[in-house]
């Protein structure tokens, strides 16, 4: 266990050393939030959202770029150390290489999609052919990437079952690909939606990942233990600079990559039922947005004054730190309950 804790602290220190120069670099590149009128999925103005986010203009966006890079580099470094030191790499699956490939492909592919989104928003790259990608087209790309990942889990790792506590294990065959794709895309967008307040998405994700790390320890899966350790180290270092008032924001690069990877880790651990509980805050956030979207689409009226939930709480008079701190408390409760579910037979 000491090697995994060493990986965690190494990642934390590396990210802590790099993040201040990285923030300075983002300022020089003008990779910052700019003042603009945001629009919803129906291309309508969102004045309430703009009101509560106007003070974030000028904050560098791109914290996810550094965390993704250091997580990848340190994960490969520590796995290489295991191989050179001839330490046994334990996995729940017959192909360790496939498990590693799935983890790396997930975080890299979704981070590139998120980077495209960040570039479009910051530099207003909307009128060219490539940067004219609409929301529905981005969703199709997410589904395509999620399908590839899900197919690999089904074909190479032979995952085709879903465990529901007290009810048993159900083999769903190729339908697992569709189920897994839905879960990956849902969490990618859930964390993206939650990344609206200083420290909210990164703080809630840190708590949820600690729960998954506990599950990984119980089954001794080396790739997942190392990956979560270095990811957590980087995430906590980022969170130090992301809490209110934030010096750096996660951005779509991080939120999309982290959301998809979080879902994949839950699926690789075989905890598909516990996943939405451990990530309960993210589920509530995306559910409130989805209900609002469907209500506007089919009934031409709002289900809530505003969505997602954190924005509605702000509208009711809750200060940003209050919303975030209480989200962390709720996340801790969800994670604890989710752990109980995860260890049920």
The answer to the question of whether 252 is labelled as a binding residue is yes
DSSP-assigned states of every residue in 86-106: T-----SSS-HHHHHHHHHHH
Query: Cβ(274)–Cβ(339) under 8 Å?
Result: yes
- Residue 253 contacts by C-beta under 8 Å, 6 or more apart in sequence? 62, 64, 65, 68, 111, 114, 115, 117, 118
- Determine phi and psi for 171, rounding to 5 degrees: -85, 120
Query: Cβ(250)–Cβ(29) under 8 Å?
Result: no
Look at the block and give the residue holding tokens 């559910």.
287
Query: Cβ(248)–Cβ(62) under 8 Å?
Result: yes
* Structure tokens belonging to residue 169: 């294990």
Binding-site residues for Mg(2+), in ranges, read 192, 252
Binding-site residues, in ranges, read 192, 252
């Amino acid at each position: 266990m000491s090697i995994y804790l060493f990986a965690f602290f190494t990642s934390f220190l590396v990210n802590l050393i790099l993040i201040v120069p990285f923030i300075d670099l983002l300022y020089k590149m003008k990779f910052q939030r700019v003042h603009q009128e945001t629009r919803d999925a129906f291309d309508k103005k969102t004045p309430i959202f703009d009101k509560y986010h106007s003070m974030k203009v000028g904050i560098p966006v791109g914290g996810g770029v550094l965390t993704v890079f250091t997580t990848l580099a340190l994960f490969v470094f520590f796995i290489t150390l295991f191989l050179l030191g001839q330490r046994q790499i334990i996995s729940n699956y017959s192909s360790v290489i496939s498990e590693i490939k799935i983890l790396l492909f997930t975080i890299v592919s979704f981070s590139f999609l998120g980077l495209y989104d960040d570039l479009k928003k910051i530099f207003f790259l909307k009128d060219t052919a490539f940067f004219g990608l609409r929301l529905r087209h981005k969703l199709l790309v997410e589904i395509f990437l999620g399908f590839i990942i899900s197919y690999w889990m089904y074909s190479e790792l032979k995952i085709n079952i879903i465990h529901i506590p007290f009810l048993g294990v159900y083999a769903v065959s190729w339908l697992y690909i569709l189920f897994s794709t839905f879960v990956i895309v849902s969490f990618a967008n859930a964390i993206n939606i939650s990344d609206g307040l200083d420290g909210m998405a990164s703080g809630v994700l840190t708590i949820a990942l600690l729960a998954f790390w506990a599950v990984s320890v119980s089954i001794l899966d080396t790739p997942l233990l190392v990956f979560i350790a270095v990811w957590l180290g980087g995430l906590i270092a980022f969170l130090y600079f992301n809490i209110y008032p934030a010096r750096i924001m996660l951005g779509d690069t991080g939120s999309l990559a982290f959301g998809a990877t979080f879902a994949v880790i839950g699926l690789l651990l075989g905890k598909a039922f516990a996943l939405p509980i451990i990530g309960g805050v993210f589920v509530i956030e995306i559910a409130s947005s989805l209900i609002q979207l469907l209500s506007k689409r089919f009934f031409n009226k709002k289900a809530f004054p505003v969505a997602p939930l954190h924005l509605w709480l702000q509208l009711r008079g809750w200060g940003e730190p209050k919303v975030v701190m209480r989200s962390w408390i709720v996340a801790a409760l969800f994670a604890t309950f989710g752990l109980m579910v995860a260890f049920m037979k």
